[in-house]
Amino acid sequence: MQNENSFYKMLLDNLHDGVYFVDEDRKISYWNKGAERITGFMSAEVLGKQCSEDILRHVDRQGKVLCMGACPLACTIADGTERNAEIFLHHKKGHRVPIFMRAAPIRDNGGAIVGGVEIFTDMTPAAAALERVAEFERLAYIDSLTEVANRRYTEITLNTRFEEMQRYGWPFGVVFVDIDRFKDINDRYGHDRGDEVLKMVSRTLQNSVRSFDLVGRWGGEEFIAVIANVDREQLLATVNRFRLLVEQSSISSVPGLRVTISLGATLARPGDDMTTIIKRADGLMYESKTAGRNSATVD
């Protein structure tokens, strides 16, 4: 039996997907290598803990926390029905990672439910992202700290989108993002922790856009997202997703630190150029700051 268990563990550990088992109380009893790779949490850090204990902390695309009341795995353990969903998990480094998860009950020999298993797949547009990063690095267009596009590449992308809009009529939007009270974070926790906040925010933004959209660092604690082929309703959904996912993210090295962002977003208009659209999005972002921060204004 021991050899058989070792064989199955070897199979599970060699899966690309993350796999973990929980008991009826949702305490983790198994955590495979795929789960370590996708989440950043090692098996020794999570075994015996409940999955909601500052580990995965699943949220949906609207930023709703699922661990308390709407957890697919908990619902599956309760009623025995298999479930799947596209959601975001919390990475150990603080950012959010999009996953496709499947939950199934675990039953004993008598058919009684004694726990559950979750299998999850990393939905980060990895291939497109790697290709884009390789191009950025080759052309020196990547921000060395956050590993998103730098200002120069963001400007090139904006000019390209304007050319496409003029030639083909393809719409696009611009989102201006500013981290709230970032100077206070640096002053209180130090610049190293401030750099971690920048990385967490940039990764969360990058992981929540499509492969053909762009997130770039504009300067300091400011980011710009260029969202292609979008209407006002879709742009509004995008900025709300940005805000909620950052709000639900955290940094393990600074327990209790709450990071929020203020956003301004606008669609490109006839007669716009890079200067006018950035100025308008920036002004809308400041309206969000005036409204109390951690909010989004869309024109």
Per-residue pLDDT at 3: 54
Question: Residue 291's closest CA among 173, 180, 186, 174?
Answer: 180
Coil vs helix vs strand at 275 = helix
Per-residue pLDDT at 70: 77
CA–centroid distance for 8 within its chain: 32
CATH number at 169 reads 3.30.70.270
Q: Do both 7 and 111 map to the same domain?
A: yes
Q: Do both 261 and 194 map to the same domain?
A: yes
Please say whether the beta carbons of 217 and 146 come within 8 A. yes
When divided into structural domains, the chain yields a total of 2
For residue 65, give the DSSP letter. Answer: B
Please say whether the beta carbons of 58 and 66 come within 8 A. yes
Q: Do both 147 and 243 map to the same domain?
A: yes
d(CA 106, CA 24): 9
Query: 253 is written with which tokens?
Result: 């090295």
Q: Do both 110 and 139 map to the same domain?
A: no
CA–centroid distance for 27 within its chain: 25
Query: 16 is written with which tokens?
Result: 């690309």
Known catalytic residue at 221: yes
Q: Do both 159 and 234 map to the same domain?
A: yes
Residue type, 32: N
Q: Do both 77 and 189 map to the same domain?
A: no
- Tens digit of pLDDT per residue, the chain (299 long)? 445 566 667 778 888 899 999 999 999 999 999 999 999 999 999 999 988 777 888 898 888 888 766 789 999 999 999 999 999 999 999 999 999 999 999 999 999 999 999 999 998 876 566 666 666 666 678 898 999 999 999 999 999 999 999 999 999 999 999 999 999 999 999 999 999 999 999 999 999 999 899 999 999 999 999 999 999 999 999 999 999 999 999 888 888 899 999 999 999 999 999 999 999 999 999 999 999 999 999 99
Q: Do both 93 and 205 map to the same domain?
A: no
Domain hosting 265: range is 126-298
Q: Do both 170 and 239 map to the same domain?
A: yes
62-72 in b/e burial notation, b at 16+ Cβ within 10 A?
A: ebeebbeeebb
Catalytic site residue from 221, 233, 247, 287: 221
Q: Do both 118 and 132 map to the same domain?
A: no
The domain boundary residue, chosen from 76, 91, 122: 122
Please say whether the beta carbons of 149 and 157 come within 8 A. yes
Residue type, 265: A
